[in-house]
Amino acid sequence: MSEKPFSGEVALVTGASRGIGAATALALAEAGAHVVLTARDAKALEEVEERIHQAGGTATIAPVNLSEPDGIARLATAVSQRWDKLDMLVINAALLPQLGPVTDIDQGAFNKALTVNVLATQALLANFSPLLKKSGNARVIGLTSSVATAPRAFWGAYASTKAAFEVLLDCYAQETKNIAKLRVAVVNPGATRTQMRARAYPGEDPATLKGPEVVAEQLVRLLGEQFESGHHESVNHA
């Protein structure tokens, strides 16, 4: 493999302001991709962009709130005006509603999670599919959770959104498999040192968890492989 295997490629990473998203953006840029950084926090995105530039990579920030009805469409328009294709889409952004019994789910918070984790995923696929299909080697990776397929008590709100998230990606994989040079994978990062993990497990020692860069390394490896569309895998511990 060459030093810069993704040279000339464009990648879009959602939730790129921190955690796994930021680490993945940095790793993709190091591998030669131009990375479009998307998240709500413009200042945090600028910090990630600066880190990429300092390391010799290239990136563009595109602050977007995925819960806004027209935000993703505006983002897709902006990207298509600058680039004629999109080679990689990493759907990492997600919202974790408060944990609790199914009977006590706050419907307002649940609706926000459904919007970010499910509706925004469909909107990303719908709006960026034309650009992905213009790439000769398009890859879509969605970051999931083990609770999507192994539900646990008190995780009903989040688990149900991630289950729907996986179904959308798996259906999209089947729908595009034979009509486009486009492959889809779903990756479970497992227990990782992130803000979301700290919120879910406040008493956990973060030193016992792998860092986001471990997940990023595996994602970049996968993006460089000829995996079968509809592929699922989990990230091993460091």
Active site residues: 158
- In the chain, DSSP assigns E strands to 10-14, 34-38, 58-61, 88-91, 138-143, 182-188, 231-234
Instruction: At 104, list the tokens.
Output: 């006590």
Beta pairing partners, 108 = none
Beta pairing partners, 185 = 141, 231
**Measuring CA to CA, how many Å separate 92 from each of 17, 114, 173?**
11, 15, 17
Distance CA 179, CA 134 (A): 12
The Cβ of residue 2 has, within 10 Å, a number of other Cβ atoms equal to 8
Q: Which of 155, 163, 166, 161 is nearest to 105 (CA)?
A: 155
